[in-house]
Homo-oligomer: A and B are copies of this chain.
Amino acid sequence: MKAKKDFKIEIMAVGSELLTPYFQDTNSLFLTERLNDLGMEVSYKTIVGDDWDDLALCIKQALSRAHIIIAMGGLGPTKDDRTREAFATVLERKLIFNKELLQRIEERFKRRGLSMPEVNKKQSYVIEGAESLKNRNGTAPGLWLDTGSNKIVLLPGPPHELKPMFEESVMPHLQKHKMDYKARKLLKITGLTESKIETLILDLYPDDPDLRLTTLAHPGQIEIHLSSHSIKSQEQADKRLQKLEKDILERLKENVFSTTGEELEEVVGNLLRQNKKTLAVAESCTGGLIGNRLTDVPGSSDYFLQGVVAYSNQAKINALGVSPELIEKHGAVSAQVAEAMSQGIREKAHSSLGIGVTGIAGPAGGTREKPVGLVYIALAWDKGLESIKNIFLGNRDKIKYQSSQKALDMVRRHLIKYEKKKTGMK
């Protein structure tokens, strides 16, 4: 095995559409993740069109600088699909007709009641010395070739063809070159700013080069990506990671809402189900976003009873029973109105919990006293009521999103407290 530093991997995406403003390669993110799992890092990514000279040049340069080349796209039947031919030409290897492959492609067409167009025949050629890789979801076979100095993988571009092929046919080859054992973890956090999190865990940032901690900030949500690798064993990699995770969780506590990848709406849904509680939502400035997020989760009809989008004052009055005097006195954007909305929807829907959100998403409508981004969120339950004043930054979308995040998080924290109390009472 070569020293890691000198082991270079290149991912090459082939296709003229990837050089327009409209299309972007996303396969490489998936490939990188799986390569990282084997302890392999990507050194170069190249995107090139179907111009023969450009493609041949990029292949030549890739062969000279990378040990593993994973190229994708350009394996289709049309005359613009030239990845196979270009690699064969640069490598000075023949393309050899493979009868079995042709039959497989013909059968694929036959199963759909079609006969194979003549152009597809070229997909049954394999570069001399290469192993053909089965494509469960398309006609283009992939290819694995070890030339001694380079390992070359050719994959079709469509993600639903590329991904299973990589998992099933390429990973087993790469496993043999696995450089170490890897463990990964994703912590999702809400309710703390990125800088607050950094302060809380500053001394936990690992010195150990085999442990990595990366934070990623989204509106209303921070992600901490942890990874650990070991050249010894999976156990060692796991142990290191678990220690770091445990330390972080002790610092950040219930602000971490997910350690297994779930979205906040899934976490809230699970808590509602576990506690046999139901929810209804009265939204003004979020305009339906909270309902939309809750119902993105399959099975949400178990606990999500009803939503009302009460954009106008009249709707707040008619659909939620908010009193006109209250709106008159405090304004539609106020803690009092948010609270009345949360109580109103809870009563109308006969739900255990009710949420009320009212605010100014902008860009217009802000004043000095009530600026754009001011959002009141209230939560009503059988024995009480809570409301929070927030000032969110960003454009309309971001303000809406952060409001929905905060509202869902209020439900989450309430249910955690509720659970604790119940357990405490035993």
Contacts and interface: CB of A to CB of B under 8 A. Distances in A.
Interface in A42-97: 42-49, 51, 54, 57-58, 61, 65
Given A306-B310, A307-B308, 15 more contacts: A17-B214, A18-B45, A19-B32, A21-B32, A22-B216, A61-B61, A283-B291, A288-B307, A305-B311, A305-B315, A306-B308, A306-B315, A308-B319, A314-B350, A318-B349
B296 A397 contact: yes
Interface in A376-415: 396-397, 400
B319 A311 contact: no
Contacts of A103: none
A116 B65 CA distance: 39
Contacts of A301: 311-312
A119 B318 CA distance: 61
Interface stretch (A23-31, A246-254, A321-329): A23-31
A295 interface: yes
Given A46-B45, A287-B295, A288-B309, A29 B24 contact: yes
B348 A296 contact: no
A377 to B, nearest CB: 16
A308 B309 contact: yes
19 contacts: A8-B54, A19-B32, A19-B42, A20-B214, A21-B30, A43-B51, A44-B48, A57-B65, A287-B294, A291-B291, A295-B361, A296-B400, A298-B364, A298-B396, A306-B308, A307-B311, A308-B308, A318-B348, A318-B349
A288 B298 contact: no
A291 B186 CA distance: 32
Interface residues of A, number: 73
A201 to B, nearest CB: 18
A62 B318 CA distance: 66
A345 B318 CA distance: 12
A124 interface: no
A144 to B, nearest CB: 22
B43 A44 contact: no
Contacts of A350: 314
How many copies are assembled? 2
Contacts of A295: 285-288, 309, 311, 361, 400
B24 A45 contact: no
Contacts of A362: 298
Given A19-B32, A29-B24, A283-B288, A309 B306 contact: yes
A26 B29 contact: no
A288 to B, nearest CB: 3
A348 B299 CA distance: 28
A266 interface: no
A421 to B, nearest CB: 28
A304 B311 contact: yes
A179 interface: no
A41 B19 contact: yes
A54 B44 contact: yes
A296 B287 contact: yes
A57 B44 CA distance: 11
Interface string A331-357: 000000000000000001110000000
B58 A44 contact: yes
A36 interface: yes
A33 interface: yes
Nearest to A43: B54
A305 B296 contact: no
Nearest to A49: B43
A145 interface: no
B319 A306 contact: yes
Contact of A307 (B33, B307, B318): B307
Contacts of A133: none
